[in-house]
């Protein structure tokens, strides 16, 4: 088992985070199956709306298991079933973050505090399930390929900020040293409503807004239903007639063969 520190991000100055990756090889079904476990630890100067940010997160086979946020100071299990197999000491995680915070302060004092190059995010909004007006659903805002791992995601309904029914994941690391994050909004789609996922990040000159409106397939009219029913009935009758004709032809052919 090897532990390696992440490379220093581009742009000079002190690196704003520390990142480690672990690779585990576990036997499965008589063969060697390779599983990937990632431990992400970072502490950094944060977005202007917050003074500081830190996170410790474990990810197994690209699925987050648990994370500890510096603000929440408690375990947040994304896969609660994992608690049957593992335990996690929140105080130990906070201790690691405190060490990173102290190291960051030391590096800032010893450097010119030049910021690393920021990578602006992209965002996509989509519904979890097929949309039916009046049926509860979940909107997903997927924010991808950004650095550093600090941003604000805000949901708006018809231009008004929405806070109820909102959940977010931790920051997930990508192979190119950028990050991704999901935000979820529970909602009931209604005709005329529109939703906006607004993203704020250092790499953006202004807020990134993605608008989503319910797209529901138009209902089949009563006339069209009658046409389809009639067509189906016609095809069924034609099938019965064709089957009957073929049956008697085959029977007549067999009788002739028997006479010969």
Q: What CATH number corresponds to the domain at position 179?
A: 2.60.40.10
CA dist 69 and 177 (Å) reads 20
Judge if 145 and 198 occupy the same domain. yes
Judge if 67 and 18 occupy the same domain. yes
Smallest Cα–Cα separation from 148: which of 64, 55, 73, 72? Answer: 55
Judge if 91 and 189 occupy the same domain. no
Judge if 103 and 188 occupy the same domain. no
Residue 229, domain member (yes or no): no
Residue 251, domain member (yes or no): no
Give the pLDDT of residue 8.
32
Judge if 18 and 104 occupy the same domain. yes
Judge if 96 and 127 occupy the same domain. no
Residue 163, domain member (yes or no): yes
**Three-class SS state of 8:** coil
User: pTM above the 0.75 mark?
Assistant: no
- Looking at 54, 80, 110, the residue that finishes a domain is 110
Give the pLDDT of residue 55.
82
Judge if 39 and 61 occupy the same domain. yes
Q: Which range marks the domain in which residue 65 is found? A: 4-110
Give the pLDDT of residue 123.
97
Judge if 179 and 93 occupy the same domain. no
Give the pLDDT of residue 208.
97
Residue 217, domain member (yes or no): no
Which CATH number covers residue 95?
A: 3.10.320.10
Give the pLDDT of residue 234.
77
Residue 219, domain member (yes or no): no
Judge if 104 and 159 occupy the same domain. no
Residues 6+ apart with CB under 8 A from 217: none
Judge if 134 and 80 occupy the same domain. no
> How many domains are there within the chain?
2
Task: Walk along the chain (260 residues) and give the pLDDT tens digit of each residue.
Answer: 233 333 333 333 333 443 333 334 344 455 567 777 777 787 776 555 555 778 888 887 777 878 887 777 888 887 777 777 777 788 888 888 888 888 888 887 887 766 678 899 999 999 999 999 999 999 999 999 999 888 899 999 999 999 899 999 888 888 788 999 999 999 999 999 999 999 999 899 999 999 999 987 555 456 666 777 777 777 777 777 767 776 666 666 666 655 55
CA dist 137 and 188 (Å) reads 6
The phi, psi pair for 65, rounded to 5°, reads -100, -50
Residue 256, domain member (yes or no): no
C-alpha atoms less than 13 angstroms from C-alpha of 177 in its C-beta half-sphere: 16
Contact call for residues 179 and 67 (beta carbons, < 8 A): no
């Amino acid at each position: 088992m090897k532990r390696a520190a992440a490379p220093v991000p581009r742009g000079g100055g002190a690196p704003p985070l520390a990142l480690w990756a672990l690779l585990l090889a576990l036997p499965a079904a008589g063969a060697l199956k390779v599983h990937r476990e990632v431990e992400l630890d970072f502490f950094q100067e944060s977005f202007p709306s917050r003074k500081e940010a830190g996170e410790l997160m474990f990810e197994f086979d690209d699925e987050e298991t648990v994370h500890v946020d510096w603000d929440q100071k408690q375990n947040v299990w994304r896969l609660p079933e994992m608690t049957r197999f593992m335990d996690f000491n929140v105080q130990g995680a906070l201790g690691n973050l405190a060490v990173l915070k102290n190291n960051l302060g030391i590096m800032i004092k010893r450097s010119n505090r030049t910021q690393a190059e920021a990578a602006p995010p992209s965002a996509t909004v989509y519904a979890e399930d097929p949309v039916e007006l009046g049926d509860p659903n979940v909107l997903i805002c997927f924010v991808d390929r950004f650095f550093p791992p600090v941003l604000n995601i805000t949901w708006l309904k018809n231009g008004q900020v929405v806070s109820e029914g909102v959940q977010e994941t931790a920051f997930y690391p990508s192979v190119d040293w950028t990050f991704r994050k999901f935000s979820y909004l529970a909602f009931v789609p209604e005709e005329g409503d529109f939703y906006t996922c607004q993203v704020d990040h250092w790499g953006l000159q202004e807020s990134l807004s993605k608008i989503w409106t319910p797209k529901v397939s138009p209902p089949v009219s009563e006339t069209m239903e009658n046409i389809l029913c009639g067509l189906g009935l016609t095809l069924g009758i034609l099938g019965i007639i064709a089957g009957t004709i073929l049956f008697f032809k085959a029977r007549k052919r067999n009788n002739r063969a028997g006479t010969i």
